[in-house]
Amino acid sequence: MSIEVALFVIVGGVSVAAAAMMLLTENAVHSALFLILNFICVAFLYLMLDAPFLAMVQIAVYAGAIMVLFLFVIMLLGAEKVGQSAREFKWLAPVTLALALSFVFATFFAFSAGDIDSNDPVASGDPLLRVVHAASGFPEAVDVYGNGELLVSGLELGGGSDYVAVPAGDYAVSVAVAGDDPALALPLGDITLQPDSAQTAVAYGAGRLPSIALVNEDLSNTPDRSGRVIVFNAYSGAPALNIVDPGNDFLIEADEEVPVIYEALAQGTASAPELYRQRTVNWAVVPSDNPDNIVYRLRDYPITPGETQLLVIGEEPGGVGEGLRPMNIALVSQTLASFGSPSAIGASLFVKYVLPFEIVAVLLLAAMVGVIVLTQRGDVKPKPGRPTRRKVSRPLTSVIASQTGHDVHDLPELPRLKEPESAEPVGD
């Protein structure tokens, strides 16, 4: 037994045991703690699947924020107290049993009606095809046909089409001037499209009858901060090309050792996909038989992570009497997001499974309301409203007498102040 299988068995067993204890324990707080343990086990399983982002979300969102909310509701409603009389819902058991039986019946019906054992394997997806016009001998905009069916229309020289999904199989590719009768299309050659693939058909050549080549592209996810580059040679001015890295000044000395990126790339062939770290490169295209002659310069060309770039080194008509001049056709494709990455999760949740995601959100809201209803205590007495004034059981005089030691009517008479003598009237 490998270490991965052993870890899966151990963590999976702990997860199942925690889920069972969550359902069997009578204390709501203990049940929530067992649920947290289950979430941690699921996060560890995500780590085993090389999905660290999902593991982080599982811990931060579910074991963190959501469980804090659950514990807050449980303690706010007093459901953590054991031994108190709880409200009984007589309708809860039959409704739960009916829902469980309905779920089992629906699952059994889906499996039996689906004929899983008798179904053939699911066929692979249709291949993706795009076309690049790099035929300098056919400078007009063209329409491209496959087995007589229009694939791409109005494709300019030096341009590439978008990906189109076509059935897998063999295709006889032909090309005609844009808008012309399809019967006048010139045959380019035959290509074979493999299922579940991404391929680029490149029309190239300096004569009036172009050739076609098929480039298999790799759109799988790339490592962090890395991009993928494929080079196709559609240049007719040399039997083969080298891609070298002379630096920023593009000066190649006779005795200088220049790093060769791609070597002896023949016309009509593509290089193998190569991974490069994110950076800006200054590459030079030179003939294999004359490395001192720079045919084309790739100045400050960016290599971007998460992309597959197809570089087509071709040629285009120059000015009057200038013949052909080199050109570069750069086609950029986004690679597939890695499993468990934020891009992959966002595409799955908010594009492919947006409706189930919203339904689950509504179910979680309903579950929260149900928790509040089920954990509400039934023996809570409402608090009184405004407090009433306390009635005095004895008269006020008795209270005063008990505090002073004398009856109110026996209190000594206080001395009176003498009235002031009035002044004698004036004139008497």
In order, the DSSP letters of 160-210 are BPPPEE--SEEEEEEEEETTS-GGGPEEEEEEEEPTT-EEEEEEE-SSSS-
Distance, in Å, from the CA atom of 349 to the CA atom of 134, rounded to the nearest integer, reads 40
Does residue 426 form part of some domain? no
Indicate the residue among 315, 336, 357 that finishes a domain: 336
Looking at residue 222, its pLDDT comes to 83
Distance, in Å, from the CA atom of 198 to the CA atom of 94, rounded to the nearest integer, reads 55
Does residue 271 form part of some domain? yes
CB contact set of 14 (below 8 Å; sequence gap of 6+): 37, 41
Say yes or no: 235 and 154 in one domain.
Answer: no
Looking at residue 236, its pLDDT comes to 87
Q: What's 258's domain CATH number?
A: 2.60.40
Does residue 268 form part of some domain? yes
Phi, psi dihedral angles at 293 (to 5 degrees): -100, 110
Say yes or no: 274 and 182 in one domain.
Answer: no
Say yes or no: 228 and 329 in one domain.
Answer: yes
Say yes or no: 238 and 147 in one domain.
Answer: no
Looking at residue 144, its pLDDT comes to 92
Say yes or no: 7 and 47 in one domain.
Answer: yes
Does residue 39 form part of some domain? yes
Say yes or no: 212 and 254 in one domain.
Answer: no
Domain count, the chain: 3
Structure tokens at 267: 């016309």
DSSP of 4-52: HHHHHHHHHHHHHHHHHHHHH-S-HHHHHHHHHHHHHHHHHHHHHTT-H
Q: What's 63's domain CATH number?
A: 1.20.120.1200
Looking at residue 122, its pLDDT comes to 43
Say yes or no: 234 and 327 in one domain.
Answer: yes
pTM: 0.60
Does residue 394 form part of some domain? no
Does residue 380 form part of some domain? no
Domain limits for position 229: 218-336
Say yes or no: 172 and 222 in one domain.
Answer: no
Say yes or no: 236 and 327 in one domain.
Answer: yes
Q: Which amino acid is at 251?
A: L
Say yes or no: 222 and 293 in one domain.
Answer: yes
Q: What is the pLDDT along the chain (428 residues), one digit of tens a residue?
A: 688 888 889 999 999 999 888 888 878 888 888 988 999 999 998 888 888 888 888 888 888 888 888 877 777 776 555 555 555 667 777 777 787 788 777 767 766 665 555 544 444 578 899 999 998 888 788 999 999 899 999 999 899 999 988 999 999 999 988 888 888 888 888 999 988 889 999 999 887 788 899 999 888 888 778 899 999 999 988 889 999 888 766 565 555 577 888 888 999 999 999 999 888 988 989 998 888 888 888 888 899 888 899 999 988 887 544 667 888 888 888 887 776 677 777 777 777 777 777 877 777 777 777 766 666 655 555 566 565 555 555 565 665 666 665 555 555 555 555 555 555 555 54
Say yes or no: 329 and 286 in one domain.
Answer: yes
Indicate the residue among 306, 336, 366 that finishes a domain: 336
Looking at residue 120, its pLDDT comes to 47
Say yes or no: 243 and 308 in one domain.
Answer: yes
Does residue 311 form part of some domain? yes
Indicate the residue among 336, 356, 384 that finishes a domain: 336
Does residue 420 form part of some domain? no
Closest CA to 157 of 172, 171, 173, 178: 178
Residue 211, classified by CB atoms within 10 Å of its CB into exposed (0-12), middle (13-18) or buried (19+), is middle
**175 strand-pairing partners:** 144, 186
